[in-house]
Amino acid sequence: MTRTATPVNFTLDLRGRPGHRPSQVAHALIDAIAGGQLHDGDRMPSTRTLAATFGLARTSVVSAYEELIAAGFLVARPGGSTHVEQGAAAAARAGAFGAAPVPPAPTIPPAARPVTFDLRPGYADIGLISARDWAQAMRLAAAPAPDGRGDLRQALTGYLRRARGLAVAAEDIFLFPSAAAALKAIAAACGLAGQPVAFEDPGYGKARLALREAGAVLRSVPVDDDGIRPGDLRDSDRACYVTPAHQWPLGGRMPVRRRAALLDWVSASGGLVLEDDYDGEFRYGVPPMTPLRAMPAAAGQVIYLGTSSKVLSRDMRVSWAVLPARYRAAMTSYLDLAGQEVSQVSAAFLASFITTGALARHQSRAMRTYRARQARFVAACREHVPAARALGIEAGLHVTLVFGRPADDVELVRRLADAGLACLALSPAYHGDSPARQTGLICGYSRLPETMAAAAATLIGRVTAELVRPR
């Protein structure tokens, strides 16, 4: 029996589309699906029919179909037919097809010319994300599975166990649109308003601001190369905020003995440790160190914070906090009243990205790339920026160049911006007139190609030489 050809009953607008012809066709088909011209389950015309209808090379249409099948928008069925996959329409309307989200506009001082070297810390390279994995996870996110596979908190239990050696219950994981929002909620649910909270100095400015806005009374505690010193904490401190995996911004990794001493303090004082593990997934040439929260004595007194922004993209806006079980009810009540919610699409996407193994693949690929970029940049800085020493090179996504002599690092950052390089000054990370204040540059290398490392370091060295004079 002769098979009847499926007619073409939709338009294919290729005008003004960038890229090669197969990519243009694929994106035009996505627009047809998003616009309702093609529905979930519809049978697609054959590649020959579609090519003849719109005057295209059949090879271009074949490539476009293959791309959409790989991304999960089309499905090839036995007998040679191709159909629109279930959930494709919702995913197409959600913008699932194509590159990963574009990061927000740079928040750097106005530059005299476009930024050539973007060394702002805290940004992952979204260009490393597999477009196929991204599109597939977005399609799954648009139609969450009824069997619970779309539950991000459940997915995070597996991720934290595999990636960070942290075994926790899904019921103790709470989701937030940012780490700052998480800290404000923690302060409210755990009764930190009006209470003294020890805070690293230098430390993470957004965390400092969030806790202060929530009513906590912050007490700055100097850090050394190994992080905060437990001996500097007081019995009266109700909590202590730390970044032990990669201290922000100096980059120290808190050793086991000091971690144990910190837990001794929290056990004796009855307080809390707020452990911000903002980029602990990435380490280079050193063995992994499990979070404080994973240590046997920590379960009831350490609150663990994590984020997707350093692993994938800031645009995800998904952070999490693991709370001791005794705060579960208080946090649930607070969130019910506050109405803080993570985007359901972002949460479902991240759950799919984790459960399909895409996040593990991405993290492995990104770690190799970041290790190579960091090594090249640090070597170049040692050659071209002799006035500085590099700190924090064992982990994370940034390196801090600390000057051996006083310098106006804020002015230095301004001049570098004028010359086309964006980074942050170190001195503003200190609180007030801290006697331990150092000056330097905080440089992210995650988005700096290896081929540009020497040029970036040369520019830093040249501008630094103008402001950091020999004694």
Q: Is the dihedral of CA 142, 144, 145, 146 positive or negative?
A: negative
- 111-136 tens-digit pLDDT: 445 889 999 998 999 889 988 888 88
| Nearest alpha carbon to residue 227 among 199, 268, 193, 187 | 199
The pLDDT, as a whole number, for residue 419 is 93
CA angle 442-448-449, nearest 5°? 155
- 346-402 tens-digit pLDDT: 898 899 999 999 999 999 999 999 999 999 999 999 999 998 999 989 888 999 999
Question: Do residues 279 and 138 make contact, with C-beta atoms less than 8 angstroms apart?
Answer: no
The pLDDT, as a whole number, for residue 105 is 40
Rounded Cα distance between 182 and 207, Å, is: 10
Question: Do residues 159 and 151 make contact, with C-beta atoms less than 8 angstroms apart?
Answer: no
Domains of the chain from N-terminus onward? 21-98 (1.10.10.10), 117-128+360-467 (3.90.1150.10), 136-358 (3.40.640.10)
Instruction: Tell me the two tokens of residue 376.
Output: 């090249």
pLDDT average per 10 residues of sequence, the chain (471 residues): 68 80 88 87 89 88 83 78 83 61 40 78 90 83 56 93 90 94 95 96 94 95 93 96 95 92 93 92 82 88 94 88 95 87 85 92 93 96 94 92 90 94 95 82 96 97 83 49
Q: Are strands 117-118 and 81-84 parallel, antiparallel or unpaired?
A: unpaired
What type of residue sits at position 214?
A
pTM of the model: 0.77
Instruction: Tell me the two tokens of residue 180.
Output: 């700052």
